[in-house]
Amino acid sequence: MQRLSGLDASFLYLETRSQLMHVIGLVEIDPSTMPDGYDFAKLRAEMERRVAAIPAFRRKLDNSVFNIDHPVWIEDEDFDIERHVHRVAVPAPGGAGEVAELCGHLAGQTLDRGKPLWELWIIEGLSNGRICAMLRMHHAGTDGVTSAEMLAQMCTLTPEPPELDSSKIRESAGPPSRATIAATGALNYFVQRPLAMAKLLPRTVSVPVGWLRRAQHQSAMPAPFMAPRTRFNSTITPHRSIGLSQLSLDDVKRVKNHFGVKINDVVLALVGGALRTYLLEHDELPDKPLVGMVPVSVHDADEKDLVVEGTNKVTGMFTQLPTDIEDPVERLEKQAEFSRTSKEHHAEIDANILRSWAQFAPGTTLSTAMKVYGNRKLASAHPPIFNVLVSNVAGPDFPLYFLGCRVTAVYPLGPIFHGLGLNITVFSADGNLNIGILACTDQTPDPWEIANAFDDQLKQLLAACD
């Protein structure tokens, strides 16, 4: 039995029919490299073999009416691969638009909490002869870093099936025990949480004080609820739209080196430029810069003051996106300045402050409040917390094979929220920068316009390098 951390469990509490808390990886693969030829039944059998060495794919949620703490993970003794790996064909002609529409429909479906919280859809019938593997995993059981690690466990350097790690095969979340769930939950609630709160309060006081001090000297990252309103900042529905783009990593590095900035600065500048183009075309560009929230991994942070370590080890950093600047080079230089300010400010804040406060997340209260918040469309009643969520995850810079099939692209897609209906996630792999855009169809029915703008933005910066 493994207890969820407060942050892990919060993704369960925040989930409603419209606000779905799963992360997605769209993996485009070439089936011609599969040993002895492609066959769905053979691919599913190999996936079943690999899952034996991926403990996170074999665990499911469990709880007790007497548990006053967060839920737990237990081993699924009735695991059945056919309940997780499915096959579907994309409608003709099988282009990128049809694939994105099908994946958008699947992205709008809830995961069954009665089984391990993941599923894999094998999408056949692509016009280029390739296959798309769509992996959905609930955020309660993974973050950006662990998602990449899980994906890596399904990938190899050659098409041949690998030997499995015997220690991972033996690893187990353990059997259910209602008495243990209740007893350890009571211990955490009445003993561990008060001790954690006593340590947390002194660490928290310095956050607003430092923020105010930096704001007075114009050296603070933007505060929550200070972002301008856009179409992305209203209540979302269950409908999802997807846009995809793939850029050359060498081109991005050329821009980085020429202007003396970081890759993340280039990524954020491309995001700002693409959103500027999109909002201008719709005559909706705010006068003020947009605000992005960038997830930051804290896997190396000290965890001694946490009640439960959990799986999600992440915090967030706010940064302005200079969408008010027309010139792409000036926008990049300003973005680098904004990023430096945000990083310096963020470095002063306790890396585990979000995870620490999430320990006290009240499950029933938070779930009820989120349903009321969505049903009453309260996201439009206050200033946006931020405008867009932008995540940049570094992957392997060499060829990989997914269950024996050569990987040609990996597009990540993160969740969206009421009032925060646009997620842009970037994953670099094998010489490419893969960009996945997830939006609410009722807010952004045309995310491909944003996706296509990335290529144009990069071309403008490359032209400035000549």
Instruction: Catalogue the active-site residues.
Output: 139
Residue ranges with strand state E in 366-404: 388-394, 401-402
Backbone angles phi, psi at 240, to 5 degrees: -120, 140
Cβ(14)–Cβ(21) under 8 Å? yes
For residue 169, the surrounding DSSP H or E stretch is helix 166-170
**What is the phi-psi region of residue 248: left when phi exceeds 0, alpha when psi lies from -120 to 50, beta otherwise?**
beta
In angstroms, the first-to-last Cα distance of the chain is: 59
Task: Determine the 3-state secondary structure of 182 from DSSP.
Answer: helix
Distances (CA, A) of 245 to 44, 168, 250, 455, 456: 28, 35, 15, 8, 11
Query: What is the Cα–Cα distance from 419 to 412, expressed in whole angstroms?
Result: 21
Stated length of the chain:
466
Backbone angles phi, psi at 29, to 5 degrees: -130, 155
Cβ(389)–Cβ(420) under 8 Å? yes
For residue 353, the surrounding DSSP H or E stretch is helix 353-358
Cis omega before residue 295 (within 30°)? no
DSSP state of 139: G
Cβ(255)–Cβ(284) under 8 Å? no
Structure tokens at 173: 């979340």
